[in-house]
């Protein structure tokens, strides 16, 4: 007789069913891994932790890549022995990532893949033994050599050392080459001469600015208004930098005619120069260049103060020119005057004014700027009541206030300082370059290219005075050895105990 209380045993699972369950689990796991990898491949983020962010693309380059409609093909001919091979490869990876499928890259080692290298070089008719890139866009191509992408110090080779890269400027050269190909014809801008403006040729004090602007598919062409019957129609804009003498009536007539035909003008005024005809031209458009100088009192000691005319200013966020530089500070060295904007007076003529740069709080506009009377200057500073002082403004006649609406218009940018773009000032910071670049791109209707430009390469240097050197000697000769002595003593004592 069967035992009624006996419980039935566990149900046996066949080997086939166990194998099927394991197979389903493996398939599900593989599917999840594939899905995670697929999502990660399409949606990922990159960071550049290098000291000077030399692989991080600038905002301007990223915005330019967004405007490219076709496909860019980059063929890389770099020998592994080239000092910047790794830098170029890492940088091109960033271009591919920011291009979102618009950039194809082919790496060819000219020392190993001779047949492919010969085929491509013959296709583009390139003859060079130097490492290089070939950038191709819609049938147009441009070559960028390794020597153009870096400054290399080879002085150590005489002592058996290898070449040393002092500055890597790959982004500047590659982006510039892409702009040339995508835009095709260069944008030509007239640089007015004949009134003791800084020269473009020879030992130019604006050589950094010239190189920087021309890297953006812009050509600066000298323009003497005495020698032409009219401003040439091929000039997209005109630049006037710190004239020391006023324009003649004939020159002003050419400038008026250019403006009336929807011309584009960049004017950098030198407050020390007397240019009443230029001032009157600006005044008719609602911008008055005041006969004053911006100053500020700085405390140099416990009870000592000094007055300086170097202006620390900030960029405003309301204009497309300075939107991406909003609240960035820049130094305007030398004399700077204030600008008075009168938008109500010119509104009926469909002229719009926009302040671009204002001095920091604490500055005051001094009309008696030649005086040395500290008491008077302090009194004027107290009476200024921290009123906002504009030193740069934009003028637009015609067009639309809505940035999304593209209409023909005359445009102008006015700055009441002409020395902030000179080489000795630009060496202290790049903000002025970004501002001038943004201004020119706005004048050329290239708002999509306004942004923070690639960094100007700088060599990392250390300057140690006698006190700093003494500290380094104490650290190296005493402190560091003492750390090991103390550590060894502690270990010895523990073992002895």
Give per-residue pLDDT as tens, 121-157: 889 888 888 899 999 999 899 999 998 888 877 777 6
- Do 334 and 436 fall within a single domain? yes
The number of distinct structural domains making up the chain is 2
Q: Is 57 exposed, middle or buried (0-12, 13-18, 19+ CB in 10 A)?
A: buried
State the Cα–Cα distance between residues 256 and 250, nearest whole angstrom: 10
Is the same domain home to 81 and 103?
Answer: yes
459 occurs within a structural domain: no
Beta-carbon contacts of residue 80 (< 8 Å; ≥ 6 apart) = 109, 111
Please, are residues 364 and 323 in contact by the beta-carbon 8 Å criterion? no
User: In this predicted structure, what is the pLDDT of residue 403?
Assistant: 55
Residue 472 lies in a domain: no
Q: Name the residue with higher pLDDT: 366 or 1.
A: 366
pLDDT digits (tens, 9 = 90+) for 239-252: 999 999 999 999 99
Residue 129 lies in a domain: yes
Specify if 428 maps to a domain: yes
Confidence of residue 341 (pLDDT cuts 50, 70, 90): very high
Is 70 exceeded by the pLDDT of residue 357? Answer: yes
Last residue of a domain, one of 130, 162, 178: 178
Q: State whether 235 and 200 are in the same domain.
A: yes
Q: Which of 166, 95, 184 is nearest to 133 (CA)?
A: 95
- 386 falls within a domain: yes
Asked whether residue 425 falls in the same domain as residue 393, the answer is yes
Among 317, 250, 241, 252, residue whose Cα is nearest residue 283: 252
- The pLDDT score that the predictor gives to residue 158 is 67
Instruction: Give me the percent of the chain exceeding a pLDDT of 90.
Output: 44
**pLDDT band with cut points at 50, 70 and 90 for residue 375:** confident
Question: Is residue 245 domain-resident?
Answer: yes
Among candidates 112, 84, 253, 260, which has minimal Cα distance to 173? 84
**pLDDT per position as a tens digit, 464-497:** 667 777 888 888 888 888 888 888 888 888 887 6
Task: Please tell me whether residues 156 and 190 are part of one structural domain.
Answer: no
H helices of 319-390, in order, are 343-346, 374-383
> What mean pLDDT is reported for the chain?
86
Instruction: Give the separation between CA 358 and CA 360, rounded to whole angstroms.
Output: 7
Same domain, 171 and 196: no
| Final residue belonging to a domain, choices 151, 178, 205 | 178
Residue 1: predicted pLDDT? 46
Confidence (pLDDT) at 343: 95
Residue 133 half-sphere exposure toward CB, CA atoms < 13 A: 26
Instruction: Categorise residue 141: left if φ over 0, alpha if ψ from -120 to 50, beta otherwise.
Output: beta
pLDDT at 244: 96
Largest CA distance in the chain: 131
Question: So what's the pLDDT on residue 13?
Answer: 60
The CA distance from 108 to 80, in Å, is: 11
Predicted local confidence at residue 404, as pLDDT: 55
Q: Supply the pLDDT for residue 493.
A: 86
> Do 199 and 163 share a domain, yes or no?
no
Examine residue 2 and state whether it is found in any structural domain, yes or no: no
Last residue of a domain, one of 178, 201, 232: 178
Which of 292, 290, 392, 271 minimizes the C-alpha distance to 334?
271
Instruction: Indicate if 190 and 162 belong to the same structural domain.
Output: no
Length reported for the chain: 497
pLDDT at 257: 96
Could you tell me if 158 and 205 lie in one domain?
no
Question: CATH number for the domain including 142?
Answer: 3.40.30.10
Q: Are residues 257 and 300 in the same domain?
A: yes
Separation between Cα atoms, residue 92 and residue 105, nearest integer Å: 8
Query: Do 223 and 104 share a structural domain?
Result: no
Inform me whether the pLDDT recorded for 457 exceeds 70.
no
Q: Quick: pLDDT tens for 269-302.
A: 999 999 999 999 999 999 999 999 999 988 776 5
**135 assigned to some structural domain:** yes
Q: What range defines the domain where residue 65 resides?
A: 59-178
Shared domain check, 271 and 377: yes
Query: Which CATH number characterizes residue 299's domain?
Result: 3.40.50.880
């Amino acid at each position: 007789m069967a035992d009624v209380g006996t419980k039935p045993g566990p149900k046996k699972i066949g080997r086939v069913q166990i194998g099927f369950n394991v197979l389903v689990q493996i398939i599900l796991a593989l599917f999840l891994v594939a899905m995670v990898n697929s999502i990660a491949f399409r949606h990922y983020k990159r960071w550049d932790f290098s000291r000077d962010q030399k692989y991080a693309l600038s905002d301007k380059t990223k915005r330019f890549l967004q405007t490219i409609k076709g496909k860019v093909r980059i063929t890389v001919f770099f020998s592994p022995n080239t000092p910047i091979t790794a830098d170029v490869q890492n940088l091109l990876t960033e271009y591919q990532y920011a291009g979102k499928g618009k950039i194809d890259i082919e790496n060819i080692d000219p020392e190993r893949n001779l047949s492919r290298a010969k085929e491509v070089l013959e296709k583009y008719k390139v003859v060079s033994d130097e490492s290089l890139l070939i950038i191709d866009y819609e049938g147009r191509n441009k070559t960028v050599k390794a020597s153009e992408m870096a400054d290399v110090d080879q002085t150590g080779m005489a002592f058996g050392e290898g070449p040393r890269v002092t500055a890597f400027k790959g982004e500047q050269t590659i982006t510039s080459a892409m702009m040339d190909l995508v835009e095709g014809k260069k944008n030509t801008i007239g640089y007015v001469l004949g009134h003791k403006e800084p020269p473009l040729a020879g030992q130019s004090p604006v050589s950094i600015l010239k190189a920087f602007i021309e890297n953006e598919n812009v050509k600066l062409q000298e323009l003497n208004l005495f020698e032409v019957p009219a401003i040439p129609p091929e000039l997209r804009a005109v630049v006037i930098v710190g004239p020391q003498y006023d324009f003649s009536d004939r020159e002003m007539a050419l400038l008026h005619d250019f403006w009336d035909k929807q011309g584009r003008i960049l004017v950098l005024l030198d407050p020390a120069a007397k240019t009443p005809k230029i001032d009157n031209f600006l005044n008719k458009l609602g911008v008055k260049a005041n006969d004053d100088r911006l100053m500020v009192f700085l405390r140099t000691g416990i009870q000592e103060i000094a007055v300086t005319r170097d202006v620390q200013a900030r960029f405003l966020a309301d204009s497309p020119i300075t939107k991406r530089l909003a609240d960035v500070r820049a130094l305007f060295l030398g004399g700077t005057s204030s600008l008075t904007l009168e938008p109500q007076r010119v509104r009926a003529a469909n002229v719009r004014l926009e302040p671009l740069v204002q001095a920091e709080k604490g500055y005051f506009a001094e009309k008696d700027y030649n005086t040395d009377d500290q008491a008077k200057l302090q009194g004027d500073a107290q009476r200024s009541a921290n009123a906002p002082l504009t030193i740069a403004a934009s003028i637009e006649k015609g067009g639309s206030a809505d940035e999304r609406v593209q209409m023909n218009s005359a445009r102008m940018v006015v700055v009441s300082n002409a020395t902030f773009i000179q080489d000795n000032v630009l060496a202290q910071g790049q903000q002025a370059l970004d501002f001038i670049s943004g201004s020119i791109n706005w004048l050329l209707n290239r708002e999509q290219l306004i942004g923070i430009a690639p960094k100007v390469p700088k060599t990392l240097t250390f300057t140690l005075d006698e006190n700093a050197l003494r500290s380094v000697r104490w650290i190296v000769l005493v402190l560091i050895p003492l750390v090991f002595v103390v550590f060894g003593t502690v270990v010895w004592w523990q073992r002895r105990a």
